[in-house]
Structure formats: C-alpha cells, structure tokens
Structure 1
C-alpha cells in the first residue's frame, strides 16, 4: 500500500470584497485557486489553497451585478501574517474604498507581512491610495490608466500589460503586483498557480475552465476586433461583410474603394468617421485576428497562416504580432494552441 502524501499547511488566499465590487474580479481568480485544489485531488494530492473572502463586516456584500457574496472574516479581525496571498479587486465601489482610511492603513500594514499582495482591474487604485504601489510598476484596466497616472505620480505605470506578476522578479514583481481588466485577473491567478504548483497543474486548470494557458503578463491588453452591425455603418456594410473572406487578396485602398463603390478619398474619410480608424489599419487588425484564430486552433503552420491571412511572408506576420500583441507568432502558438 502506498503511503499517503504528508499534509502541508494550506496557503490562505484572501480576496477583499466591498459594496459594488466587480463580481468577476472576485469569482474569476478565486475559481482558479479552487480548481487547482480540485486538480490536485484528482491526482490524490491534498488541497493546497484555503480561500477566504474578507470584508468590513460579517454581513453579505452586494456586488455591482446585484449578486451577494458572504464575508468569511472581517479584515479588522484578521492577522495579515496568516495570509499567503491577498487580492484587492476593482469595481464601481473603488472610489468609496479609497476613502476608507482604516482599510487603507490595514492594507499598508499588511504589505510586508503577506507573501503576495495583488490587485485585479481598478483595485490598483485602492493599493495606490494605500501607498503600496509607490515606486513600483503597475497596470490596471485601460479605462482607469489615466486616473492612476494622474493621481499617483510615484507609481510606474505599465498601461499596456495584462499583469505585473513575475515570480523571478525580472519582468515584474513577485511580491506586489497588479492586473488589468476583469479577465486579466484570471490570467494573474493562473500565473500564481503555475508559480506555486507548476505548469502542469495550471494547464489542467485552464483546460477545465476552457481557457488558454496562459496570456503572459507582458502581453498587451487586446480583444477580438468586432464588426459593428450593418445598420450602424450602412455605407460600409457590404465591404465589411466581404473583407473576412478575402484577407489573402490584394486589399489596397484602391481595391477597397472599388469594392465599396466609393472613391479612395471618400472611403478613407467615411471609414475613419464610422470605424474610428483608417481602412489600412482595420485590414491589418482583421488579418491579425484571423491569424490569431488559426494559430490558436493549430490549423496551419506559421508560413501558411501568413499566406492565408494576407501577410505574405512570415516576417510581416511576426512584426505585426509584436506591434499589437508584444509576442511572436511562435510564442502565441505555443501558449494558446
């Protein structure tokens, strides 16, 4: 009979909750840690994390979605030295929490006592208000970057990153770190799990959650290019519908103008007015999204992807990936396929 694995002390991961917190900022990362426990149990290993929701009082907290979360322990009654990881999420209630001087003092005192202290989304503003981010690099949701930069000049803003965690302390910080908007908190949690339990467990968690493992912290904040409803852009509707099926063709301004039955000058003006970018930039982004999809699904080699999506040579594809995503096509395929 095999001997049971010796029990290890559970590492407590605490997440602050408060009125009008973003529910996904809390539940997304916490589910990653919970799923890591499940994956260990599937392997006959004991749970690794103890999850804790902390708040000002024992009463349930209403999130910005209207869902109510239960507080396990008031933070006032908690010794930060007993925590392994402390997370501060964002949400509509951030500004109110930035005025809670007792909470800010508790967070400031907790920083040297916990192994890891991080924020999700606009939670970075709370950490900055507590003085925790002074002299440190930080990111946040793109919509809150200007406020973070303007209000906290001593913070080194990394506006185009998913998170600033790095267990090696080379391209980020293993002790105090921040993450960008909402789902970037899940990327951050996966990075923490990978640092704690290895890539295999983190990959299993990502697969269970039907996610890609994992967007690196230095990757830019980006999302798929969405085509607006035809009714919103009637003069461009036919062209926008035609483009995705013809990415490998010559998509010069002259070609696009002919397809749209407009002069090149008129097309450029209308495109910029309706889409917020010129036709050349839109085509580049559309080709990039198509290339990402092919690489994620491992449907073709990089050279084939470059040809099918209109980039022609793999070097053109590589430059575009670095320009928009800060990773190479090879790295993208390895991490997401």
Structure 2
C-alpha cells in the first residue's frame, strides 16, 4: 500500500499558470530531495479539471487535467489546492464546483488556496470564521463579498500547523509566489525543516520570507472616487511627508475640525489619520530602500520618521523586518 500523500490542484480556464506549477514544483522537488537521500517519494501529484482535458491558462499555455474533480473521492486526497487567476469569477459562480469543495473540506486533511483562489474558497463557504489572505489587489473584494471571513491582507499565507496564528486545515496564500512560500511550509510540516530547507535552496528561495506581502500598495495613490472629501488632502500628504502631519495640522489643511477629520477618515478609509499617515510614510520608505536611493538615516528624515529608531519600530510593527534587512533583501543593488 502506497504511503505517498496525494496532492491535487484544481485548474480551470484562465487560471494563473504559476499558481499551479509553482506549488506543484515544490512538492516535486521534495520528492527529488528524498530520492537523493535514498528515500521513496513522499507525494503523488494530481491535476483536476471540470473534465479530463487540456485547459488554457491565462498565459495561453495549456495544462492537462488528468481527471475530473467530480469523479474524484475527496477522501482519497491529502491536500487540495485551489489556484487563482482571471478565471475566478466564473468559478465563483460554478455551483457544482462550490458544492464539491464544500463537501471535500471535511474529507481532506488540508484545503488551501493560492492568490485569488481564496475567493473561490470563500464562495464555497469554507473560509467563514477563518483567517484568510489573498493577492493585495483582491483583498477589498474578499472583505466586501465575504464579511464572515477574517481577512488578514498583510500575510503571505495563513497556514500554521500549530494553530497559534492560522489554521492547519483550511488556509490561503497571497499573490502568486506566496503560493510557493505556503507549499514550503506544508513540506516542512510533513517532512521536516531540513528537507524543506533543501528544497528552498534548490529553488533559490527563502524557506521563510521575512515580512508580509512585499508588494505594491494603493496607500500613496488612493482613488479619488473612493475618498471624495479627502482627495485633495491625500494627494498633498505624500509630497509633505517630512513635515508636520499631526492631526491638528491635517485638520487645518482640510479646513475641518480634528474631530470631523477623524470621522471622515474612518468613514472613507476605515482608519484614523495617524494610522494612515504612518502607512504612507512606510510605503515611501520602502520605495526609497528598494531603489537604493538613500541611506536609512536619510530615508528616516525624508519620510518623516525623524530618528532611524522610529523607522525601525515601524518596519517591525508592519513588516516584521528591520529597514536594513529590507534594503538588503529587496533593494535593487542586492
């Protein structure tokens, strides 16, 4: 009797090819590392579609579904992954698929999503009451469409085998390559840190990437239509990060009382002025460090943090990494 864990990944028209091949390659590489050690492969990989046929991805490449998900007994699967891509809208309306996923959830050991695939799991109802993340561009849609989901948009993934800060049964991951981070965590839980580290080294990746979603943000350029009463002020703030951006100064600039300004910020942005300014300053600092445009001291001053220690505390608070580490790992000159 085979002791291999059966890993299945769904595909559908317009799926993101990397959301499928990235995680599956991690599992395949784990098999290779075990074979190097004289051990049997740990994983059997399976690609499932609505029918057993080639499926066109969003890149135009075709991936062959080996079997139809409707013909598979979910109890035969160890782990089931749902990738994202432009085709998610049709799948979120695919009642048969959603019923199958809801029925599969209690039968599989692990059910996870990659990137915007979280929206499919949410539509199936399996994320209700659970922490979840997704690609940064889809976080608002996940929040708005599925209020029962505990959305945590800054995380790379929500898998936690210890269940201290996530879930070991149903989990999600952020944009594209975060699916690889997630899969490395699954391999580590299954086969140990040493083997997962060997896979990460083989793929030239971090075993655990520092920080959260290192990605572009809307903080510096909010859509005016979303913030009609604050549009002028929000356009002014990024150009004046090194100045006085206290509540009183912002209220004076906006010709509102501090109390009114705070109320408008919470209404239009879901947060107070102080938190918003901190996030904009952080995004500006990240951009400068990524482009290797200035020293940490200069970045601290230009972005309004004053002393580098204030910048360090803010980076650790939001990204769980120091400015120096961020510059070394994400800077263009690294």
TM-score surpassing 0.5? yes
**Partner Cα distance (1:224, 1:180) in 2:** 13
* 2:99 aligned partner: 105
3-state SS of 1:53 partner: strand
**Partner Cα distance (2:173, 2:281) in 1:** 31
The offset of 1:308, in angstroms, is 9.8
3-state SS of 2:22 partner: helix
**Partner Cα distance (1:153, 1:252) in 2:** 37
3-state SS of 1:64 partner: coil
- Select the residue among 87, 96, 109 that pairs with 1:115: 109
Asked if 1:72 is matched to 2:66, the reply is yes
The offset of 1:151, in angstroms, is 1.1
Confirm or deny: 8 A CA contact 1:28 1:185 kept in the other structure.
yes
Asked if 1:85 is matched to 2:79, the reply is yes
- Select the residue among 29, 34, 41 that pairs with 1:40: 34
**Partner Cα distance (1:43, 1:223) in 2:** 37
**Partner Cα distance (1:105, 1:224) in 2:** 35
Alpha carbon RMSD of aligned pairs, Å? 3.3
- Flag structure 1 segments of 5+ consecutive residues without an equivalent: 1-6, 226-250, 254-276, 292-304
What are the residue-to-residue correspondences of 1:232-251 with 2, within 5 Å? Answer: none
- Select the residue among 110, 117, 127 that pairs with 2:121: 127
The offset of 1:327, in angstroms, is 3.5
**Partner Cα distance (1:82, 1:282) in 2:** 45
- Select the residue among 298, 320, 333 that pairs with 1:326: 320
Q: TM-score if structure 1 supplies the norm length? A: 0.71
* 2:212 aligned partner: 220
* 2:187 aligned partner: 193
Cα distance change on mapping 1:282 and 1:165 into 2, 3 Å: closer
**Number of equivalent positions:** 269
- Flag structure 2 segments of 5+ consecutive residues without an equivalent: 218-240, 244-277
Confirm or deny: 8 A CA contact 1:288 1:321 kept in the other structure.
no
**Partner Cα distance (2:300, 2:115) in 1:** 35
* 1:284 aligned partner: 285
* 1:234 aligned partner: none
Confirm or deny: 8 A CA contact 2:300 2:311 kept in the other structure.
no
* 1:15 aligned partner: 9
**Partner Cα distance (1:331, 1:175) in 2:** 32
Asked if 1:145 is matched to 2:146, the reply is no
